[in-house]
Amino acid sequence: MSEIEAHLSRWREAGLLDEATAERIRAFEAERASRRPAIPPEERPGVIEILLYLGIAVLAVGVTALAAQNWGDLASFARVLVTAVPAGFTLLVGALLRPRSEPGLRRAGQLAWVASVALTALAVGVILWEYEPFGLARDDDRTPFLLVASSATALALLLWALSPSTLQLFALGGSCFFLAQSLGAWPDEYSSRLAGGSLALVALAAIALAETDYLSPRATARFVFGFLLAVGAFWPGFADGGTPWELAAFVAAALLLALGVLRSSFQYVLWGVLLLFVALVRTIFQNFSDQIGAPVALIISGALLIAAVTLLARLAPSLRRGVAA
C-alpha cells in the first residue's frame, strides 16, 4: 500500500472523507505525479561521457600494469614520470571539461579530478621514495605517509573549492580518511585513538561547515562526513582503547540522530542508527558474551537489528517530508 493510500484509508475510517473525495484526491495526485519533469536528455549519460570514463579507467589500469611489470627496470626519473604525467594529464582534462555546458562532460571532468587526487598522492610517494628529499629516509614510514596524505587532502580541498561537486566531496572524504590514518601511524606504535579521534574531529568540522552552507553539496557532505564521524568515533573504543573509549561511539550516534531529526536529514539518521547498532552489538560481545553466552548475545543483536530497521522505517517518511518542505 502506498503512502497516499495509507493516509486515505485512515481518513476514511475516521470519517473525515468519503469515497468520492478520496477518488478525487487519487486523481489529483496521479495527475501531479504525471507532470513531474522527466530527466532532461542533456542530463543523461551519453556516449562521449561513457567513453571518457572508459579512457580514465584504461589510463589507471595502464599505469598500474606498467608499474607492476617494469618497475624494477625503470630509473628513478622514469618511475616519477610514470605517475606524475598521468596525474598532470587528469588534472588538465578536468580543468578543460569543467567549464563545458554539457552536464555529462562536467561529470567526466570531475571524475578526472578524482583520479588526479589518487595519482598525485602516488606521484608524491614515488618522489619521496626515490629521491629522499629534505633528509627523509626510505625506512621512515611515518613522515612520508603523512606528506602523501596531506598532499592528497590539500589537492582534493583545492579541487572542491574550484568545483564544489559530489565527486570532489568523495575525494576529499577519502583523503581525510587517509590523513587520519597517517596521523595514527605517527607514534612509534599505531594509535587507533589518534587516528579515530582526528577523523571524528575533521568530520565534525565538515558537518558544521555543511550545516552553515559553507560545504556543498550539502546532501553529499552529510552522507560522506556523517559516515566518517561514525567510523572515527567507533574506532578508538573497539580497537584497543577499552571500555571508557567505547562511550565515544554512543555519543557520536546520539549526535548523529539528533542532527538527523533537527535538520531533517536521513543521512545522519542512517549513520547514527547503524553506528548505535554496531556499537551495541560489539559492546555485548566484547564485554558480556562470557556471562550471557554467544547464543543470547546473538538473540540480543537480532532484536537490536530489528529495532534499528524499525526506527529507520518510522523516521524515513517524516525526514523525507522535512527535506521536501
HSE-up of residue 242 (Cα within 13 Å, Cβ side): 1
Residues 14 and 48 in one domain: no
pLDDT number for residue 320: 53
pLDDT at 324: 45
pTM reported for the whole predicted model: 0.75
pLDDT of residue 310: 73
Domain housing 145: 43-190
Q: Which residues contact 174 (CB under 8 A, 6 or more apart)?
A: 117, 156
- For residue 199, being part of any structural domain is answered with no
C-alpha cell at 101: 555546458
Low-confidence ranges of the chain (pLDDT < 70): 1-3, 33-46, 137-138, 238-245, 285-302, 304-305, 308-309, 311-325
For residues 107 and 185, membership in a common domain is answered with yes
pLDDT at residue 161 in the model: 93
Assess if residue 202 is contained within a domain: no
Residues 116, 71 share a domain: yes
48 lies in the same domain as 31: no
Calpha distance 198→178 (Å, rounded): 11
C-alpha 127/C-alpha 87 separation (Å) is 13
Q: What is the pLDDT of residues 205-216, one digit of tens each?
A: 999 999 999 999
Burial bucket for residue 200 (CB in 10 Å: 0-12, 13-18, 19+): buried
Q: Is 196 inside any structural domain?
A: no
Output DSSP code: residue 232.
H
CA distances, 27 to each of 11, 24, 41 (Å) = 17, 5, 28
Q: Are residues 60 and 30 in the same domain?
A: no
Which residue from 1, 129, 126, 6 is spatially nearest to 67, judged by alpha carbons? 126
Scored b (16 or more CB within 10 A) or e, 251-272 reads: ebbebbbebbbebbbbbbbbbb
Domain count, the chain: 3
Q: Are 235 and 276 in contact (CB under 8 A)?
A: no
Q: Is residue 319 part of a domain?
A: yes
Q: What is the C-alpha to C-alpha distance for residues 267 and 230, in angstroms, rounded to an integer?
A: 12
What is the C-alpha to C-alpha distance for residues 99 and 82, in angstroms, rounded to an integer?
28
Same domain as 72, residue 27: no
Distance, CA of 109 to CA of 91 (rounded, Å): 9
Whether residues 122 and 166 share a domain: the answer is yes
Q: What are phi and psi of 132, to 5 degrees?
A: 45, 55
With a pLDDT cut of 90, the percent of the chain lying above it is 29
Q: Position 286: which residue type?
A: Q
Burial (0-12, 13-18, 19+ Cβ within 10 Å), 93: buried
